[in-house]
Amino acid sequence: MITTGVRWAESAKRRKNRGIYEKQSADISRRITISNDNDDTQRLFENCRLQAKRVCNPIVDWTDGDVWDYIRSEHIPVNPLYERGFHRVGCIGCPLAGRAGRQFEFGRYPTYRRAYLHAFEHMLAERRRRNLPAVW
């Protein structure tokens, strides 16, 4: 049994988007879609055939307010970035966060921006060394 913190309200944009991975095919039986974790079809209990496990999403229908009410009622410490204007806390510069989010984070934390660009340049150099295309 796997228990998650997946919530429908976590991100309306992500919830409304299509799957996070799709493989198209003319043959419908060969199409593959892996849904994002905020898909509005998530249920309280699900089966994960990929990992052969049962999944429980106990707070799937909680709103942001429900989460904050619970945090306050139980006196749960939270990441201090929430007090500094962040609405979500994840990886600085996450490509999935959107351009505006990355620009905000990299503006606030320029050392991470430099490290991200350095790592990306290193990856491109390695792909060139292996005679692989820069974009796949």
Strand pairing partners for 48? Answer: 53
Span 53-111, pLDDT tens digits: 788 889 988 998 999 999 999 999 999 988 887 877 888 888 777 888 889 889 999 99
**Cα–Cα distance for residue pair 125/19, rounded to 1 Å:** 31
**Cα–Cα distance for residue pair 135/132, rounded to 1 Å:** 9
Residue 46 φ then ψ, to 5°: -140, 165
Residue 2 and residue 53 in contact, taking contact as beta carbons nearer than 8 Å: yes
Whole-prediction pTM = 0.54
